[in-house]
């Protein structure tokens, strides 16, 4: 490496061997950039230009220095030559980089095949909260039915106790369950009757009807797996009877919940 400043010469000067030795020294060992005056200067020049490029740079390692240095080396013990091809363009947002078997680096969203089988644990799942209306991935939980109520001969949809959620097309599990109790309480959820019915509806259309026939049989939990299409859904229920007042349903503290499976 020659650290000499490469001086310009004038016509009247005598050519000496040192002129050539200076050039020679500049080409030995480290090759450094020089400014227009021949002085070694940081960042004074480039290797090649945008239109006159070097074909290849063969290096043991490449060090990119901007303050601290980043060293790029080839893998140890590579069994064959490898070519990595940089993306054709920067992505529109931040994406993971994937390399294919042709060495092409591509920024894109991860797909199913990018994950090893059985590698995604439950801890990686996003939080699920109960809400109404519920967004995608959340559990739609209706308000509870409140104190004692009695069914009618005419089915009445309990609109105020609907569970709303947005789904991606996976089956929706709908449960009519007891309202939670933080402590033991006299507010016991109940559903009893004889020869009576419960309908569960999606967007005003009955998707399943339950009937029970024994007096005092309490089945305060009904469940149904609904093959609902993707979209925004409102689930409701209605309790009704088909006979007379003696066998009407009576119920209290029920809650409809719906969750995409």
Partner 1 sequence: MGTETLKKHSPRDKGIAEWFNEFQEVLSGALVPRNSTGLPQDLIGNLGQSSYRWLNAYLETLKVGSGTNFTALQVAAAIAASYDMTLPTGLPAQPLPMKMSNAGVLSTELLQAADIANGVLTISKRAARPFGQVVGVGGIAVSPSVGVDHPNPELASCTIETTGRPVRLILQPDGSSNLCYMNAAGADALSFYRRASTDDPSAAIVVMKPPALGEPNTNGPYTKRYIDTTVPAGVWTYSLRGGYYLYSRLIAYEL
Segment 154-173, which members bind partner 1 (CB under 8 A)?
Answer: 168-169
Choose the binding region for partner 1 from 48-56, 151-159, 203-211, 236-244 (rule: CB under 8 A).
Answer: 48-56
**Residue length, the chain?**
261
CA distance 43 to 34: 8
Using the contact rule CB under 8 A, the part of the chain among 4-12, 85-93, 142-150, 233-241 near partner 1 is 85-93
- Residue 64 interacts with partner 1 (CB under 8 A): yes or no: yes
Burial 217-232 (b: 16+ CB within 10 A, else e): eeebebebebebeeee
153 binds partner 1 (CB under 8 A): no
Binding mask 220-239 for partner 1 (x = CB under 8 A): xx-x----------------
Contact flags string 193-212 toward partner 1, x per CB under 8 A: --------------------
From 15-23, 148-156, 158-166, 203-211, span contacting partner 1 (CB under 8 A): 15-23
Residue 104 to residue 61: CA distance in whole angstroms: 21
Task: Give, as ranges, the residues between 110 and 139 that touch partner 1 (CB under 8 A).
Answer: 110-112, 115-123, 125-128, 130, 139
- Those residues whose C-beta lies under 8 Å from the C-beta of residue 119, and which sit 6 or more positions away, are none
Window 17-46: residues binding partner 1 (CB under 8 A): 17, 20-21, 23-24, 27-33, 40-46
- Name every residue whose Cβ is closer than 8 Å to that of residue 143 and which is 6 or more positions away in sequence: 132, 160, 161, 255
Q: Rounded to a whole number, what is the largest CA-CA distance in the chain?
A: 128
């Amino acid at each position: 490496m020659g650290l000499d400043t490469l001086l310009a010469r004038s016509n009247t000067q005598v050519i000496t061997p040192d002129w050539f030795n200076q050039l020679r020294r500049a080409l030995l060992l480290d090759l450094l950039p020089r400014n227009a005056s021949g002085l070694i200067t940081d960042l004074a020049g480039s290797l090649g230009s945008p239109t006159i490029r070097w074909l290849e740079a063969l290096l043991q390692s490449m060090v990119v220095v901007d303050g601290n240095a980043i060293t790029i080396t080839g893998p140890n013990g590579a069994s064959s030559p490898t070519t990595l091809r940089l993306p054709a363009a920067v992505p529109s947002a931040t994406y993971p980089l994937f390399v294919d078997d042709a060495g092409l680096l591509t920024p894109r969203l991860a797909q199913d095949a990018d994950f090893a089988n059985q590698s995604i644990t439950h801890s990686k799942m996003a939080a699920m909260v109960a809400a109404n209306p519920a967004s995608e991935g959340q559990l739609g939980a209706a308000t509870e039915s409140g104190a004692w109520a009695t069914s009618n001969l005419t089915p009445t949809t309990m609109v105020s106790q609907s569970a709303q959620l947005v789904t991606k097309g996976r089956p929706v599990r709908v449960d009519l369950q007891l309202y939670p109790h933080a402590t033991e309480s006299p507010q016991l959820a109940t559903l009893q009757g004889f020869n009576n019915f419960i309908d569960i509806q999606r967007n005003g259309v009955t998707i399943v009807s339950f009937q029970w026939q024994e007096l005092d049989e309490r089945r305060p939990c009904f469940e149904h797996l609904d093959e609902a299409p993707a979209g925004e859904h409102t689930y409701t229920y209605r309790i009704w009877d088909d006979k007379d007042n003696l066998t009407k349903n009576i119920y209290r503290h029920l809650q409809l919940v719906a969750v995409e499976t």
